[in-house]
C-alpha cells in the first residue's frame, strides 16, 4: 500500500508504538487521527505533529465508540486506514492469588472485543474509500504464551484467530480491504514495563519494519524476534514456549 496520502485512525496512539506510528505516518503526509483515553496527553502529542488530531475515547465504552464513529463520519469521511493497536496487559503469575478472571475480563475487552466492535463499525466506511486497509497489532505470544502475562497472551491468540477469519471472509466477499497483522515482539514501551527482560526491541525499529511491510504488502509483519519465534513455533511448539519464557525470566 501507499504509505502517504491516507487518513489513518490509530488506537493507542498516546504512547509507545501507536505514538511512534502516528509521528512517522504524519511525517509522510498522512492525516492521522490519534485515539486513546488520556485526553491531555493525546492532545499534547497531536499538537506537536503536523496533520494529526486527537480524539479521546475509551474503546471499551460503546457510547464513546459510537461518538467516535459519528465524529469520523462528520469530520474525516475520507478515512481509509484503521490501525487497531491499543492494548493492555497484566503481568502476574497464575495461581499466586491474583484475580486472573478480573485481569482476563479487562484484557479481553480492550484487546479483543473492542477490535471486533471497531472493525464492524468502520468496515463499511473503509470499504467505500480508495485503498482501504486495516492493521491489527497482535503479539508473538499468540504463538507461544508468555506465562508472566498469561491471560493477555490468550487475548492475542484470540485476536490472531479473528484476523484469520476476517481474511478468509473478506476474500470470499471480494472486499478491497488489505488486512495487515503486526506481530509485535517484546518492545520497550510503558506496556512492557512490568516484564523483566533485556531483549526488548525499540518501538522505532518495530514501526520502521511495520512501514516497510505496509509498503511491500507483506500482510504478516513479524519484526525482529517475533520472526524467530514464529519459526521456532512451527518447528517445535514446546521449545517455542520455553524460548519466550526464558526471555522474560519466567
Ligand atoms: N510492548 C510490548 O512488548 C508489546 C509486545 C507485543 C504486542 N504489543 C502490543 O502493542 C500494542 C501497543 O502497545 P505498546 O507496547 O505501544 O504499549 P503502550 O505504550 O502502553 O500503548 C497502549 C495504548 O493503548 C491505549 N489504551 C489502553 N486501553 C485503552 C482503552 N480502553 N481505550 C483506548 N485506548 C486504550 C493507551 O492509552 P490510554 O491509557 O491513554 O488509553 C496506550 O496509548 C498493544 O496492542 C500491545 O498489546 C506490545
Q: CB–CB of 143/228 below 8 Å?
A: no
3-class DSSP assignment, residue 142: helix
Note the pLDDT of residue 118: 98
User: d(Cα 13, Cα 15) in Å, to the nearest integer?
Assistant: 6
State the architecture of 7-247 in CATH terms: 3-Layer(aba) Sandwich (3.40)
User: d(Cα 221, Cα 14) in Å, to the nearest integer?
Assistant: 22
User: d(Cα 178, Cα 1) in Å, to the nearest integer?
Assistant: 8
Residues 6+ apart with CB under 8 A from 83: 8, 9, 10, 11, 18, 21, 134, 135, 137
* In the chain, domain spans: 7-247
The three three-digit cell numbers of residue 66, written as one number = 459510537
Distance 12 CA to ligand 1 centre (A): 5
User: d(Cα 199, Cα 185) in Å, to the nearest integer?
Assistant: 9
Note the pLDDT of residue 194: 82
Note the pLDDT of residue 199: 85
Instruction: For ligand 1, say whether the CB of 192 is within 6 Å of any of its atoms.
Output: yes
Note the pLDDT of residue 250: 83
Note the pLDDT of residue 93: 94
Instruction: For ligand 1, say whether the CB of 55 is within 6 Å of any of its atoms.
Output: no
- The continuous run of DSSP H or E covering 109 comes out as none
Instruction: For ligand 1, say whether the CB of 68 is within 6 Å of any of its atoms.
Output: no
Distance 173 CA to ligand 1 centre (A): 31
User: d(Cα 85, Cα 156) in Å, to the nearest integer?
Assistant: 11
Note the pLDDT of residue 195: 81
Q: Which residues of the chain have pLDDT under 50?
A: none
Q: CB–CB of 221/181 below 8 Å?
A: yes
Note the pLDDT of residue 56: 98
Q: What's the Rg (C-alpha) of the chain? A: 17
Instruction: For ligand 1, say whether the CB of 85 is within 6 Å of any of its atoms.
Output: yes
Distance 243 CA to ligand 1 centre (A): 24
According to DSSP, the residues that pair with 187 across neighbouring strands are 201
Distance 16 CA to ligand 1 centre (A): 7
User: d(Cα 104, Cα 96) in Å, to the nearest integer?
Assistant: 15
Amino acid at each position: 500500500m501507499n504509505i502517504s496520502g491516507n487518513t489513518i485512525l490509530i488506537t493507542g496512539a498516546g504512547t509507545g508504538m501507536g505514538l511512534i506510528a502516528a509521528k512517522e505516518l504524519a511525517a509522510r503526509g498522512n492525516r492521522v487521527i490519534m485515539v486513546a483515553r488520556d485526553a491531555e496527553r493525546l492532545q499534547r502529542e497531536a499538537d506537536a505533529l503536523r496533520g494529526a488530531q486527537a480524539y479521546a475515547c475509551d474503546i471499551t465504552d460503546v457510547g464513546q465508540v459510537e461518538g467516535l464513529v459519528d465524529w469520523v463520519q462528520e469530520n474525516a469521511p475520507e478515512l481509509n486506514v484503521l490501525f487497531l493497536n491499543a492494548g493492555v496487559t497484566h503481568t502476574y503469575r497464575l495461581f499466586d492469588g491474583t484475580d486472573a478472571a478480573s485481569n482476563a475480563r479487562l484484557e479481553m475487552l480492550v484487546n479483543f472485543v473492542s477490535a471486533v466492535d471497531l472493525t464492524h463499525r468502520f468496515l463499511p466506511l473503509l470499504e467505500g474509500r480508495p485503498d482501504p486497509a486495516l492493521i491489527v497489532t497482535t503479539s508473538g505470544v499468540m504463538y507461544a504464551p508468555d506465562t508472566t502475562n498469561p491471560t493477555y497472551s490468550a487475548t492475542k491468540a484470540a485476536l490472531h484467530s479473528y484476523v484469520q477469519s476476517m481474511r478468509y471472509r473478506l476474500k470470499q466477499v471480494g472486499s478491497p480491504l488489505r488486512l495487515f497483522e503486526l506481530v509485535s515482539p517484546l518492545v520497550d514501551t510503558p506496556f512492557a514495563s512490568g516484564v523483566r527482560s533485556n531483549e526488548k526491541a525499540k518501538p522505532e525499529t518495530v514501526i520502521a519494519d511495520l512501514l516497510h511491510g505496509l509498503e511491500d504488502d507483506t500482510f504478516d509483519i513479524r519484526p525482529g524476534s517475533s520472526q524467530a519465534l514464529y519459526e521456532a513455533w512451527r518447528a517445535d511448539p514446546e521449545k517455542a514456549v520455553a524460548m519466550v519464557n526464558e526471555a522474560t525470566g519466567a
